[in-house]
Structure 1
Amino acid sequence: MPTYSDLAREAFQTTVDGKPVDLFTLRNRNGMVVRITNYGAKIEQILVPDRDGALGDVVQGYDTIERAMNGQPSMGSFIGRYCGRIDRGRFTLDGVEHRTEVNAPPNTLHGGKRGSRFRVFDARQLDKSRLELSYVFQDGEEGFPGTLPVRLVYALSDDNALSISWDAVAADKMTVANFTDHTFFNLSGDAGSSILDHVATVNGARFLALSETGVPTGVMIDVAGTPQDFRTPTSFGARIGFDDPWLKLGNGYDLHYVVDKPARQFGFHARVLHPGSGRSLEVWSSEPGVQVYTGNFLEGKAPRDLGKGDTLYTKHSAFCLEPSHFPNAVNVPDFPSTVLRPGQWFSGRIEYRFGVA
């Protein structure tokens, strides 16, 4: 039977870039627990019950701030100022070309070399079930124009739902923004085990075609008759080994689905069930798309993949469901816009609803 250990707050208490880092705990009346560090706004632990009521840790993460800083940078993070890839680290606003830091050559990925994954957020615990985090992206930071303050609220409800809400505003210049959460899930409670037995449903009939460097081109592909069709419940492992160009490009599933709902409407994105434990996860969001990723580049190597309880995180030991606007939307006019004009707000929400079968 997989076990878990509570994370020690003092193992995260330090100073990074002159700002205090800590570990914050959210609880609800059912005994569900969520632990978050303000370094990268990373979710480090989520404890939820299985069908027998036994609590298990259903996310990958780290048990010290040192391991978190030396580990997978996206793991558990809130991603900004711009999640996903930007083609060649370039985009144009009102005729002016902007060049962002290239950190996944030849592209910019997840906000650049020092995106929000590497930043310390100001933190304030509002009550036992809510945490407020804030950060100000400065004009020129990672090559992006304009000052962009963002405020996050992590809120845990008594029906075992964790929501992440954000409000950001273009404070002074025309800019771009695209946010997501990058939590790595394993609903079994054993973070080192395979997720290929997890059964997924994705509310999307199309996914975004990619260039050879992983950037959306603007073309959308129908999932019908492909290994990418998760409109009916299918395990991640059922077709992951198929001879398919998109599976080969991503070393597994790593594609952005167009969610079948109105673009600005809060709605259902995906559901995953772990048959063994009975735990389920539904993802709902305000965003128009969702990235589906099956932990293809976890390698089981220390220190990057050495997680809680000295567990090694190996290939396909986690999945991610990342609601957002479409990657590279700044360069594809037909995609929902990620441009903000001065004074314009961008608000959104992701909700993780946990249950049991």
Structure 2
Amino acid sequence: MISRALLLTGLLAMTANAQVSKTPFGTTPAGKAVDMYTIKDAAVTVKVITYGARLQSVIAPDKNGKEADVVLGHPDLAGYLGDRDTYFGAVVGRYGNRIAKGQFVINGQTSHIPINNNGQTLHGGTDGFDNRVWSAKEIPMGVEMTLVSPDGDQGFPGELTAHVRYTLHGHDLRIEYSATTTKPTVLNLTNHAYFNLAGEGNGNVLNTEVMINADRYTPVSDVLIPTGDLPPVAGTPFDFRTPHAIGERINQKNDQLKIAGGYDHNWVLNGANGVMKLAAKAVDPASGRTLTVSTTEPGVQFYTGNFLKEGLITGTGGQKYSYRGGFCFETQHFPDSPNHPKFPTTELDPGHTMRSTTVFSFGVQK
């Protein structure tokens, strides 16, 4: 049995390894200061900014110990302010992903929210959480960000208080979400980081090998809204239960791939909702870098940068980003859940707290 003193010594050593510092990152046109928090451990360095509570950078070593930033982003605040399409690294909300026709019903009352994507609402509407400056404070091994969204914000009912905690534990970046509301509402928070394990700006991710721990997925209509069906992935290009390179089947003749221009779908994760489980793993064969994702969420949106334009964006390292230059693992409840009673509920009532945890683990495969 480990003694209490020895356990405490180990915890203190872990805390000492994770150093947190704060620097200015610019000022919005409205005059709000934006800060960057750098969380540095012996193995990995993480940077987050208060604009959109964004994951701005993750610097991780490859199999030879060479470090690179594996998260896509902009080098300055101006880049984020001028980019309302990619959601680089943002915490999106109130509702990550899509809600059909910008409306949903709670207790017989219909809420209407802004439409901003092919007649649907995407990532909370025209002024979502990605476009807000969050308050922040240092905590052991990381930072906690808070946003108060007023009643009626973007048409969502209830004053919502949301917290996102980023903490670094060795190779593991832990993201913890919590929220409360003053009225019944819907909520689906996730992080929209794009990863390129070869290093941001280092070409496309088609050679990245991906595994997703899911037997089923949610196919979509021609406007990317779930049909409500939960078919098996077996025998389709959506079967990632064993690893496949992203580019191996992405151009196959398949109606779902055609609709989304590649992979941009929700997978139904194996394991109970609310219980931490393996969601996905990615490996870059050349660098040996790996990313393992665990979550308490019931689903993960696997997106392959289908809407990134070749050479349009200059990243944090000064290189132009490629078409399909990054992939996302957005841990989440299912898209359009408020309009699909059979999907896991996203409703949040007063007196209750929504809690969700996702862990991104960075490693190497020799």
Match runs of 1:86-101 below 5 Å: 86-101=99-114
Q: Does 1:85 align with 2:62?
A: no
Superposition deviation, residue 28 in structure 1:
0.8
Q: Greater CA deviation, 64-73 or 83-92?
A: 64-73
Superposed CA RMSD in Å reads: 1.5
Shift in Å at residue 190 of structure 1? 4.4
Instruction: Summarize the alignment of residues 26-41 of structure 1 with structure 2, pairs less than 5 Å apart.
Output: 26-30=39-43, 32-41=44-53
Decide whether aligned partners of structure 1 residues 73 and 39 sit closer, same or farther in structure 2, where only a CA change above 3 A counts.
Answer: farther
Distance 1:309 1:189 in 2: 9
TM-aligned CA deviation for residue 264 of structure 1: 1.6
| 1:305-344 equivalence runs, <5 A | 305-344=313-352
Hey, what's the Cα distance between the residues in 1 that align with 2:353 and 2:75? 35
Q: Percent identity?
A: 37
**Which residue does the alignment assign to 2:9?**
none
Question: 2:180 — aligned with what?
Answer: 169
State the one-letter code of the partner of 2:294. W
TM-score (norm 2): 0.91
Confirm or deny: 8 A CA contact 1:67 1:307 kept in the other structure.
Answer: no
Q: 1:227 aligns with which of 217, 237, 245?
A: 237
1:95 alignment partner AA: G
Corresponding residue number in structure 2 for 1:5: none
Aligned partners of 2:28 and 2:198: how far apart in 1?
34
Matching residue within 60, 81, 86 for 2:72: 60
Matched residue SS, 2:229: strand
CA contact (8 A) 2:63 2:287 kept: yes
Change (3 A) 1:53 1:70: same
Give the drift of 1:10. 6.4
The alignment status of 1:153 with 2:165, answered yes or no, reads: yes
Which residue identity lines up with residue 211 of structure 1 in the other structure?
Answer: S
Residues 1-357 of structure 1 correspond to what in structure 2 (within 5 A)? Answer: 12-15=25-28, 17-30=30-43, 32-71=44-83, 72-127=85-140, 129-158=141-170, 160-170=171-181, 172-302=182-312, 305-357=313-365
**Contact (CA 8 Å) 2:219, 2:229: kept in 1 or not?**
yes
In structure 2, what is the Cα distance between the partners aligned to 1:115 and 1:136?
12
Q: Quick one: distance in 1 between partners of 2:54 and 2:149?
A: 17
- The question of whether the paired residues in 2 share the 8 Å contact of 1:295 and 1:318 is answered with yes
Number of residue pairs the alignment of both structures matches = 344
Shift in Å, 1:309: 3.0
| CA shift for structure 1 position 316 | 1.1
Letter in 1 for 2:139: L
The structural deviation recorded for 1:299 is 0.1
SS at match of 2:258: helix
Q: What SS does the aligned partner of 2:280 have?
A: strand
Displacement after TM superposition at 1:312 (Å): 1.7
Classify 1:233/1:24 alpha carbon distance in 2 versus 1 (closer, same or farther; 3 Å).
Answer: same
1:287-334 CA deviation, whole Å, 9 max, x = no partner?
A: 0000001000000354xx222233222211100000000110000000
Q: Helix, strand or coil: the match of 2:228?
A: strand
Distance (Å, rounded) in 2 between the aligned partners of 1:53 and 1:64: 27
In 1, Cα distance between equivalents of 2:325 and 2:311: 13
The amino acid across from 2:205 in the alignment is I
Q: Which amino acid aligns with 1:280?
A: T
Per the alignment, in what secondary structure is the counterpart of residue 148 of structure 2?
Answer: strand
Q: 66-75 or 263-272: which moved more?
A: 66-75
Displacement after TM superposition at 1:126 (Å) = 2.1
Question: What's the offset of the Cα at 1:91?
Answer: 0.5
Residues 16-61 of structure 1: CA deviation (Å, up to 9, x unaligned): 544321111001133x111111000111110001011111110110
Task: Give the gaps of 5 or more residues in structure 1.
Answer: 1-8
What TM-score, normalized by structure 1, do the two folds share? Answer: 0.93
User: How far apart are the structure 2 equivalents of 1:311 and 1:67?
Assistant: 14
Match of 1:4 in 2: none
